[in-house]
Amino acid sequence: MSSELYQNIQTFYDQSSALWESTWGEHMHHGYYGPAGTHRKHDRYQAQIDLIDQLLHWAQIDQATAILDAGCGIGGSALYLCDRYQAQVSGVTLSPAQADRATERAELAGLSDRTEFLVADVLHTPFPDEQFDFIWSMESGEHYPDKGQFFQESYRLLKPGGRLLMATWCHRPTNSLAGPLTESEQTHLNWLYQLYHLPYVLSVPDYAHLAQQSGFQQLRTADWSEAVAPFWDDVITSALNWEAIAGVLQAGWPTIQGAFALGLMRWGFQRGLIRYGLIGATK
């Protein structure tokens, strides 16, 4: 966890998480706006809850007893899953500030006896083999410097029959008539990589191939780009007030850089370059 990339990710989330929570709440991920993205929500928080529910429904996760939240943020999903399934939940993040806040929120919710939040590398966790029956990776895969290693580690951590559900930022498939990424598209992605401290992203088929190589079975994939794309309009709108602007400026340069990327993300969805990919699999 000493690499420059990991340090940059840690700094970004240490400095920006409190601002995000004050503006949007504890769920640091997209919202769900219906299959075609036409069901606009007045309650932004509800759109984020709807995304969690829709993902769990899509993956047919009816029960779980031991859950790993891989890239847990400040504990939004972890606490929701803990309460929903009455499960033991472990969350890992690179950000000490996030782990501390998640622990604090668990105590406030009365869930500290069934949750733990660790500063750890998702690709090399401290947990023993076959500890979990469900691994949840919500919009953290884009940060993983070795996507294949994530699937290998997840396979190690899951009990036989355990399930993995991953929702992650992707680029468009390159095995279609559109062909390889264009120079313009690659430049667009490179800007996002720099501003959001991402090593790279893959297409949904690429992720599915890596999961299969790691031994996973019953693979399912989906592209929910249309369903979540309106999120970026809402984020940009929420940033257009003096309180939010002041918060960005006070949070420091990494957060300011992240704010510059909002328009790039919206444009990425609009041009079909950025995709929201789902990967479900069973050990």
pLDDT tens figures, 75-88: 999 999 999 999 99
Domain spans of the chain?
Answer: 4-282
Q: What is the DSSP string of 116-130?
A: EEEE--TTS-SPPTT
Average pLDDT, the chain: 91
What is residue 244's predicted lDDT score, i.e. its pLDDT? 47
3-state secondary structure of 21: helix
Show the tokens assigned to 46.
């509800």
Q: 4-282: CATH homologous superfamily?
A: Vaccinia Virus protein VP39 (3.40.50.150)
Choose the weakest-confidence range: 10-19, 26-35, 245-254: 245-254
pLDDT tens figures, 223-275: 999 999 999 888 877 655 545 445 544 554 454 555 567 889 999 999 999 99
34 pLDDT higher than 50: yes
CB 26 within 8 A of CB 105: yes
Pairwise CA distance, residues 278 & 166, whole Å? 6
Smallest CA-to-CA distance from 138 within 96, 168, 170, 95 is with: 168
Show the tokens assigned to 58.
């899509």
Pairwise CA distance, residues 176 & 159, whole Å? 36
| Distance from the Cα of residue 52 to its chain's centroid | 11
0.85 exceeded by pTM: yes
